[in-house]
Amino acid sequence: MLPDHPIETCCSHRGERFQFEFAQKALPLLPNDSAASYVPDARGLMIAAETEMALERPVRRLTDLYGEMVRIGPPTVRYRLGDRIEQPIMGLRVLCPPTCFERIREDLRLRRAAIMDAEVNRRFGIVRASAPLAVLLGYPDRFAEMTGGKGRLVMWLSHYEQLDDPPPAGIAA
């Protein structure tokens, strides 16, 4: 798996006895996309991606192909292991209706995001921030809910940062 793909999920098939076999069959059916990488595994097909949004594309494809027979695991953070454990820090840029601006900014603050820039005018609000990926899991859905689908969220891997305490959950890459 690539180090610039800090989030992953495991997909398995309810009807297959050997998940590695399912993963090998599913692999050629997935889009060739630089934002995601795939590895067949004894547990199933491991999908890693740049962001949670990029993870959705291959997961949606598997769901379209296999329906209820595919089991999608929860997304997990891939920590980087070296001399010390490092966590992925994501950059964010949000564009939202002005009526949602304060709620978006407060939600990011509660997630321990470092807000670098925030401004609002009559037409829209913009927030630029960075935060650990672990606290942003589920944020794309939350953002869509807070903006009523009228906002725009861009997220990217900014860098890795040393983690002082052991990660709560996740896999060292």
- Contact between 12 and 22 (Cβ < 8 Å): yes
Q: Are residue 68 and residue 89 in the same domain, yes or no? A: no
Give the model confidence (pLDDT) of 137-173 as tens digits.
999 999 999 999 999 999 999 999 998 877 765 555 5
Taking the CB of residue 169, how many other CB atoms lie within 10 A of it? Answer: 11
Q: Are residue 22 and residue 41 in the same domain, yes or no? A: yes
62 is in which domain, residue-wise?
7-74
pLDDT for 169 equals 59
pLDDT in tens, the chain (173 residues): 677 999 999 999 999 999 999 999 999 999 888 999 999 999 999 999 999 999 999 999 999 999 999 999 999 999 998 888 999 999 999 999 999 999 999 999 999 999 999 999 999 999 999 999 999 999 999 999 999 999 999 999 999 999 887 776 555 55
In a domain, 23, yes or no: yes
User: SS3 helix, strand, coil % of the chain, rounded to 5?
Assistant: 30, 40, 30
Domain boundary among 28, 44, 74: 74
Residue 149 has phi, psi (to 5 degrees) of 75, 10
Alpha-carbon distance 14 to 68, whole Å? 8
In a domain, 169, yes or no: no
Residues in the chain: 173
pLDDT for 1 equals 63
In a domain, 42, yes or no: yes
- Contact between 96 and 76 (Cβ < 8 Å): no
Angle between helices 101-110 and 139-147 (to 10 degrees): 160
Q: How many domains does the chain have?
A: 2
